Amino acid sequence: MKHKPPLSVQILIGLLLGVLAGLALQAAPDVARTYIKPFGVLFLNLIKMVVVPLVFASITAGTCGLGDAKKVGRIGGKTILFYLCTTALAVTLGLLAANLFPVGRGLGQVAQESAGAAGTTVSVADTLLNIVPTNPVAALAEGNMLQIIFFALCLGGAILLIGEKGLPLLAVCDSLAEAMYALTGFIMKLAPVAVFALIAPVVAELGPRVLLAFLGVILVVYGACLLHMLVGYSIAVGGIARVNPLTFFRTALPALVFAFSSASSAGTLPFSMEAARRLGVPAPVRSFVLPLGATINMDGTAIYQGVCALFIANAYGIPLDLGQQVTIVLTCTLASVGTAGVPGAGVVMLTMVLQSVGLPVEGVALVAGIDRVLDMARTTVNITGDIACSAVVAATEGGLKPERP
């Protein structure tokens, strides 16, 4: 073909074909699992290969690139404020939606039956303490993103402090980050095939029947996610960053489609970096804000946790008063910070939210079966929030400088 369609169109085609293939393979999900899924896994492994060095190098270099400690503090403060506020709004929206459309009533029987199938639990204190790595090398080896980010921020700050002596280290981080971006560029060319291979097995395995049983919860989560994305972020990018929301979503589209199919914020990082670049977010800001966001900013996860907490409460017939719902807002905001940007991580953190208001942790089993479908929506919101934040922070720090590809 003479004119290849742009990557975003190719990815959309991959998504569409993947859904069709999944529907066609419903009678034989094994085929999808055995022959199609490995291509998706291969792609995710390639992305994972670059993500740890990319996040480490780009946050360290990004922190130094901001120039002085005051600027780091200012941009860091703005970023974290944006992330926390939007996340708290997101979970409130999730709770409102779930109160308005009370899903899960009458599922008590299922709830009893699935008791005992819950996974691990996580506490608030552990989540906070875990941010500081006792061994940064181990954090890098295990790919513990929150710890890597903490160490990279400290290292970046220290390099700034030692002035000239830090320049060689900065050059190493800079060039490592560049090399990882270049590698990512090659890997991204495979994205359309990867999207196809990731989505087909999900559709083949879950099929419309399982989805129908949980239609209520799925609709509420998707509805709240859409509202948060289309209204919340449009106001943020249109009002503060002065970017036309349509331009914003069009530019972010490849990243959003990839987030939807891969259900991984960390895996989508290279795509969000590219979207922010095309929106005109300067390099130091995007390499600081986006890896941080991929790890701590999870508005979609917060929406999901809010809805699911209420869904589980309804299923067990346990009413939640206003105080408990406020507790959920606070815990979800924190839990979403502690959620890793990988598929399914939100379920583990949901246990922390349930515990905070005394709901049975076994309730997680109720939503585990449809988690992937919910994960796709929440990851898309998570990524939109990261890109929106990078545009907002850049706009308040000297403005966006759009560049053409």
Q: Both tokens of residue 342?
A: 């990988």
Instruction: Tell me if 268 sits within 8 A of 255, measured CB to CB.
Output: yes
> In the bound complex, what is the minimum distance in angstroms from residue 298's beta carbon to ligand ASP?
6
Q: Both tokens of residue 226?
A: 């859409």
Q: Does 299 bind ligand ASP (CB under 6 A)?
A: no
Which of 26-34, 189-197, 199-207, 338-346 is the region at the interface with ligand ASP (rule: CB under 6 A)?
Answer: 338-346
Which of 82-90, 232-240, 313-321, 342-350 is the region at the interface with ligand ASP (rule: CB under 6 A)?
Answer: 342-350
Q: What's the rounded Cα separation, in Å, for the pair 342 and 251?
A: 23
> In the bound complex, what is the minimum distance in angstroms from residue 114's beta carbon to ligand ASP?
20
Q: Does 228 bind ligand ASP (CB under 6 A)?
A: no
Is 287 or 339 the residue whose CB approaches ligand ASP more closely? Answer: 339
Which of 342, 353, 370, 391 binds ligand ASP (CB under 6 A)? It is 342
Phi-psi category of residue 358: left, alpha or beta, with phi > 0 → left and psi -120 to 50 → alpha: left
For helices 7-24 and 191-213, the axis angle rounded to 10 degrees is 40
Tokens 């917060």, residue located: 302
Is 274 or 375 the residue whose CB approaches ligand ASP more closely? Answer: 375
Is 72 or 95 the residue whose CB approaches ligand ASP more closely? Answer: 95
For 164, residues 6+ apart whose C-beta sits below 8 A from its C-beta are none
Is 284 or 341 the residue whose CB approaches ligand ASP more closely? Answer: 341
- CA angle 211/295/287 to nearest 5° reads 125
Q: Does 345 bind ligand ASP (CB under 6 A)?
A: yes
Three-state secondary structure call for residue 320: coil
Which of 287, 339, 356, 390 binds ligand ASP (CB under 6 A)? It is 339
| 185-210 core/surface letters (b: 16 or more CB in 10 A; e: else) | eeebeebbbbbbbbbbbbbbbbbeee
> In the bound complex, what is the minimum distance in angstroms from residue 326's beta carbon to ligand ASP?
22
Q: Does 293 bind ligand ASP (CB under 6 A)?
A: no
Q: How many CB atoms lie within 10 A of CB 88?
A: 17
Pick out residues in 367-386 that bind ligand ASP (CB under 6 A): 375, 378-379, 382
Q: Does 346 bind ligand ASP (CB under 6 A)?
A: yes
Q: What's the rounded Cα separation, in Å, for the pair 308 and 306?
A: 6
One character per residue 20-59, x = contact with ligand ASP (rule: CB under 6 A): ----------------------------------------
Q: Does 86 bind ligand ASP (CB under 6 A)?
A: no
> In the bound complex, what is the minimum distance in angstroms from residue 334's beta carbon to ligand ASP?
14
Q: What's the rounded Cα separation, in Å, for the pair 281 and 286?
A: 6
Three-state secondary structure call for residue 357: coil
Which of 25-33, 54-62, 203-211, 344-352 is the region at the interface with ligand ASP (rule: CB under 6 A)?
Answer: 344-352
The residues that touch ligand ASP, with contacts defined as CB under 6 A, are: 263-265, 298, 301, 339, 341-346, 375, 378-379, 382
